[in-house]
Amino acid sequence: MPDAELKPQVYKDPRPKEHFDPFHERVRTSEPEWVYEAVRVLTVLHALITYRARGIGAERVPNGPVILAPNHASFMDHFFTGLCIRRRVQFMGKSQLFKPGPLQWIYSHGGVFPVRRGHHDEEAFISAFDILGRGGAVVMYCEGGRSRTGELAETAKPGVGRLALESGVPVVPVAILGSYQVRNWTKLSFPKVTISYGEPLKFERIEHPTREQQQQAADVVFDRVKGLHAELERLGPKGALKLNRERTHAARSSVAPSAGS
């Protein structure tokens, strides 16, 4: 199936750091506002009806501070990531999203915070740590930017490793299958999307991890994402959902009290 043509990516944002300070201040000092729930209702309905999106293993996402680490192939991935869990998720959005207009207002008041493309943006990490510090959920893509081919990258970017090590909070690997072809809606082609949540990973907290340690942690997380993604590809959406039901039934049966107890 041919894919829709993509716009060229802009890899460096020329605007100064100070331009983005108000957006960071908002997410550091307040929770997402009512607009988050309004957008969530619309996007959940859109995902469930248009893309027949289904989730597997959402119960594995713990309460409290958590990092959700999915693969990234579509602008819809942050909505797919939060689709099946009953909590608000916040994510780093590329700075090009923050342009004057209604979408900028929605992003900012909905809990999205910018990361300056083409720069070492410490402010984005400070915002992420503040959100985790108050018990929030942060989405950070293992591959950094969006895949242009639909294929998973060979290696992860170290950012998710840094966030995991310095915060010490659990990391849930997330595999999203089918989102690459979401952009084909212009051709009236609507793929099925399946989201699989893995078992949480917990790393020993390191206050100042080296670049090598950050990369190692990121690779561990991304290897889990690759494994989940490969299973979804092998089984297909129906097969993956069936296997999950069987696993859930087996787990419940194993902990059920015996008849004589």
Q: Is residue 173, in this structure, part of any structural domain at all?
A: yes
State yes or no: pLDDT of 258 exceeds 60: no
Give how many domains the chain has, as a whole number: 1
Mean pLDDT of 230-253: 84
- Average pLDDT of the chain, as a whole number: 88
For the entire predicted model, the pTM comes to: 0.87
- Looking at residue 74, which CATH number applies to its domain? 3.40.1130.10
Residue 211 has pLDDT above 90, yes or no: yes
Q: pLDDT tens across 6-32, in order?
A: 455 557 899 999 999 999 999 999 999
Assess if residue 115 is contained within a domain. Answer: yes
Q: Cα(105)–Cα(33) distance, rounded to whole angstroms? A: 11
Domain hosting residue 146, numbered range: 20-251
How far is the C-alpha of 27 from the C-alpha of 15, rounded, in Å? 20
Residue 238 in any domain: the answer is yes
Task: Please indicate, yes or no, if residue 1 is contained in any of the structural domains.
Answer: no
Nearest to 110 by CA among 189, 30, 175: 30
Is 207 among the domain residues?
A: yes
Q: How far apart are CA 148 and CA 6, in angstroms?
A: 8
Q: Is residue 258 part of a domain?
A: no
pLDDT at position 45 over 70: yes
- Note whether residue 7 is domain-resident: no
Chain segment 70-111, per-residue pLDDT in tens: 999 888 888 999 999 988 999 988 898 899 999 999 999 999
| 66-70: strand order across its sheet | 54-56, 194-197, 171-177, 66-70, 137-139, 89-94, 113-115
The confidence band for 146, taking pLDDT boundaries of 50, 70 and 90, is: confident
Q: CB atoms < 10 A from the CB of 187, how many?
A: 12
- Residue 260 falls within a domain, yes or no? no
Helix axes 211-255, 159-167, angle to 10 degrees: 70
